[in-house]
C-alpha cells in the first residue's frame, strides 16, 4: 500500500510549500496574463476592424468613383449629346450588361425620360415619358452641371430602393442639355460588401447622415417597406467617428456588439463594421482556458520537474513562435532548423516539420493567388486589374523621364458572331489564338492585357506614336493572315485597333486619359468598317477618315 507523507514531515511541508508556491506563482502568472491577453485582444480587434474598414472604404470608394466615371463618360459621348436616341439606347443596353447598373436612363433638358433600359421604348411605357425634374439628381445637375450621387431613392419604375449616379449632358456651349443617370439596386451594394469581406467574422453596412441604410446586408426583418433607419444610438456612434476606441452597444437584433465606423463618399455616408462580443472575445476565452488548464496540470509537478520541462518546452516553442512571427511579417519562406530541435520531444520535431511544410505551402499559395489576381486564366495575359494598377506607374515613369508612351486598344471584329455560330468553347479558343498572335507580334517591353471580353490593350512605354502604329499594323496583319484552325473548322479573324500616344502633350496628362483616347480611336475604327487602325494624335483628335 502506498504511503502518504505525514503533515508535519519535511516531505509533507515541502509538498505544501510547493503547492503554495505553485499557487502563488500561478496567480502571479494568471492575473497579469489575463489582463495582457484582454488588452491585446481588444487592440487586435481594434486593428483588425480598422484595417477591415480601410479596405472596405478603399474598395467602395473605388467602386463609387468607377460608376460615377462610367455615367460621366456616357454623358460626354457625341451621340448622347446630339440626342441620337436609337444609337444611345443600343449603347445603353449593351453597356448595362457589362456593369453593375440595373437601369440606365436618358432624360432630356425638360426633365422627361426619353428611354431607359428597363421599359420598352414607348411613350406608354412605365418609365418612358416620366417627369423627373423634381428629383434631386436632376435639380443638382441643372444647377451645378456636375456629376452627383444620391442617397437612397425609391425607383418610380421598379418601386425598389436604389442609388442613382447622375451626370449632366452639356452641349457644345457647355449648356445644360439633359441628364444621364444609372440606377444601382441595394442588393448589388450588399454583394460588393460581402465579397470584399475576407477573413473578418463581423458584418458591415452603410448609412447616410440621417441614419438611412444604403445596404440591406443586415437586419432586414427590422425594416418597413418605406423606412430603412438604424437606431439613433448607432447613428450617434457613427458620427462620433472615434479613431482609437471601439464602440459598445446593442445592434438592431438587441445583441451586444463592438463597432467602428468611418466616413465615406466625402463624409456624406458612414460605413459601419460590427462584430458580436462572443466572436470578438472567443480567442481570449480559448487562450484563458488553455492557460488555466496548463496551470492546473503544472501544479502537480515538482519545482525540479517544472524547471526541467520549462527548458525542454521553452526553447522549441520560442523557435516556433519566431517562425510564426516571421510568417506573420510576410517572410513566408522562413524555415526552422530541425537539427536544433533534435534533442527535444518528438512532437516538437513533428510540429517543426509541419510548420516548415506549412510555410512552404503558404509561400506557394501566396504567389499563386497574387498571380491569379492579375492574370486572365483563359489567355494567360495580364487582366484589367493589372493594367489599371500597373499602367499608371508605367505612365508616370514615362512622364518623369520625359519619354513617349503609347496605348493600343484592340477589339476582335464580330466576335459575338463567332460565339453564336461555333459556340463559346470555340470562341474561347479564338480568344487564345488572337492572344498568342498579339504576344508574338509585340516587343518584350510592351505590356499586353486582356481588358475585357474580346478587347485587348497594349501599353508601350518609351514608344512614339509612329512606332506604336507599326506595332499595331503588324498585329492587325498577323491576325488577318493567320486564321484559326481546329479540326475541320477554319475561322477568319480580323481586329480593329485604336492607338493613342503621349508625347509631351498637355492634352493627355494621365494614364486613364491615354487609355480613353485609344478607346475612342478604337470606336471610330469599328464604326468605319473594322479591320483597320485609327490614331488619336498628340493633339487628342481622331481622324475618322484615316485608315492605316
Active site residues: 454
d(CA 465, CA 408): 10
| Alpha helix positions (H), 329-422 | 346-373, 384-400, 415-422
Cα–Cα distance list, 249 to 50, 122, 278 (Å): 18, 52, 14
8 Å CB contact between 57 and 271: yes
| Alpha helix positions (H), 449-510 | 465-481
CA angle 353, 356, 359 (to 5 degrees): 150
8 Å CB contact between 391 and 511: yes
| 3-state SS class at 21 | helix
Interaxial angle between packed helices 511-527 and 384-400, expressed in degrees from 0 to 180 and rounded to the nearest 10: 120
d(CA 417, CA 70): 27
Facing residues of 533 across strands? 497
Largest CA distance in the chain: 111
Cβ atoms within 10 A of the Cβ of 201, count?
Answer: 12
d(CA 133, CA 540): 35
Per the listing, cell 463609387 goes with 64
Facing residues of 213 across strands? 207
Amino acid at each position: 500500500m502506498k504511503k502518504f507523507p505525514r503533515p508535519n514531515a519535511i516531505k509533507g511541508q515541502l509538498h505544501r510549500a510547493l503547492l503554495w508556491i505553485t499557487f502563488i506563482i500561478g496567480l502571479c502568472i494568471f492575473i497579469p496574463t489575463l489582463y495582457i491577453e484582454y488588452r491585446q485582444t481588444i487592440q487586435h480587434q481594434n486593428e483588425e476592424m480598422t484595417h477591415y474598414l480601410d479596405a472596405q472604404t478603399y474598395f467602395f470608394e473605388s467602386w463609387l468613383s468607377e460608376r460615377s466615371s462610367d455615367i460621366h463618360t456616357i454623358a460626354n459621348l457625341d451621340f448622347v449629346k446630339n440626342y441620337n436616341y436609337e444609337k444611345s439606347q443600343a449603347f445603353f443596353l449593351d453597356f448595362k450588361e457589362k456593369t453593375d447598373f440595373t437601369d440606365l436612363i436618358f432624360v432630356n433638358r425638360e426633365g422627361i425620360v426619353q428611354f431607359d433600359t428597363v421599359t420598352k421604348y414607348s411613350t406608354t411605357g412605365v418609365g418612358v415619358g416620366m417627369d423627373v425634374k423634381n428629383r434631386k439628381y436632376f435639380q443638382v445637375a441643372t444647377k451645378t452641371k456636375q456629376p452627383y450621387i444620391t442617397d437612397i431613392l425609391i425607383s418610380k419604375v421598379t418601386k425598389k430602393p436604389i442609388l442613382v449616379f447622375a451626370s449632366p449632358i452639356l452641349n457644345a456651349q457647355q449648356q445644360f442639355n439633359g441628364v444621364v443617370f444609372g440606377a444601382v439596386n441595394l442588393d448589388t451594394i450588399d454583394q460588393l460588401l460581402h465579397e470584399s469581406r475576407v477573413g473578418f467574422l463581423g458584418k458591415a453596412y452603410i448609412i447616410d447622415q440621417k441614419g438611412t441604410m444604403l445596404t440591406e446586408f443586415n437586419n432586414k426583418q427590422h425594416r418597413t417597406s418605406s423606412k430603412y433607419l438604424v437606431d439613433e444610438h448607432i447613428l450617434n456612434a457613427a458620427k462620433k467617428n472615434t479613431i482609437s476606441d471601439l464602440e459598445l452597444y446593442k445592434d438592431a437584433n438587441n445583441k451586444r456588439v463592438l463597432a467602428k465606423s468611418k466616413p465615406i463618399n466625402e463624409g456624406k455616408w458612414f460605413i459601419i463594421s460590427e462584430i458580436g462580443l462572443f466572436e470578438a472575445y472567443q480567442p481570449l476565452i480559448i487562450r484563458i482556458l488553455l492557460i488555466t488548464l496548463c496551470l492546473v496540470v503544472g501544479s502537480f509537478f515538482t519545482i525540479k520537474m517544472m524547471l526541467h520541462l520549462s527548458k525542454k518546452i521553452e526553447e522549441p516553442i520560442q523557435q516556433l513562435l519566431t517562425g510564426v512571427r516571421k510568417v506573420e511579417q510576410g517572410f513566408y519562406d522562413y524555415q526552422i532548423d530541425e537539427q536544433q530541435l533534435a534533442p527535444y520531444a518528438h512532437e516538437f520535431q513533428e510540429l517543426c516539420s509541419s510548420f516548415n511544410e506549412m510555410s512552404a505551402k503558404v509561400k506557394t499559395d501566396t504567389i499563386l493567388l497574387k498571380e491569379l489576381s492579375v492574370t486572365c486564366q483563359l489567355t494567360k495575359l495580364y487582366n484589367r486589374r493589372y493594367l489599371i494598377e500597373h499602367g499608371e506607374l508605367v505612365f508616370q515613369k514615362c512622364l518623369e523621364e520625359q519619354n513617349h508612351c503609347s496605348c493600343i486598344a484592340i477589339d476582335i471584329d464580330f466576335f459575338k458572331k463567332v460565339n453564336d455560330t461555333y459556340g463559346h468553347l470555340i470562341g474561347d479558343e479564338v480568344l487564345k489564338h488572337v492572344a498568342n498572335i498579339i504576344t508574338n507580334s509585340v516587343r518584350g517591353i510592351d505590356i499586353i492585357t486582356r481588358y475585357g471580353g474580346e478587347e485587348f490593350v497594349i501599353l508601350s512605354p518609351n514608344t512614339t506614336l509612329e512606332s506604336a502604329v507599326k506595332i499595331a499594323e503588324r498585329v492587325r496583319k498577323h491576325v488577318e493572315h493567320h486564321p484559326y484552325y481546329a479540326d475541320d473548322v477554319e475561322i477568319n479573324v480580323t481586329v480593329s485597333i485604336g492607338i493613342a500616344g503621349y508625347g509631351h502633350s498637355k492634352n493627355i496628362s494621365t494614364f486613364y486619359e491615354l487609355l480613353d483616347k485609344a478607346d475612342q480611336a478604337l470606336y471610330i475604327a469599328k464604326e468605319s468598317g473594322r479591320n483597320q487602325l485609327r490614331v488619336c494624335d498628340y493633339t487628342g483628335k481622331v481622324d475618322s477618315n484615316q485608315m492605316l
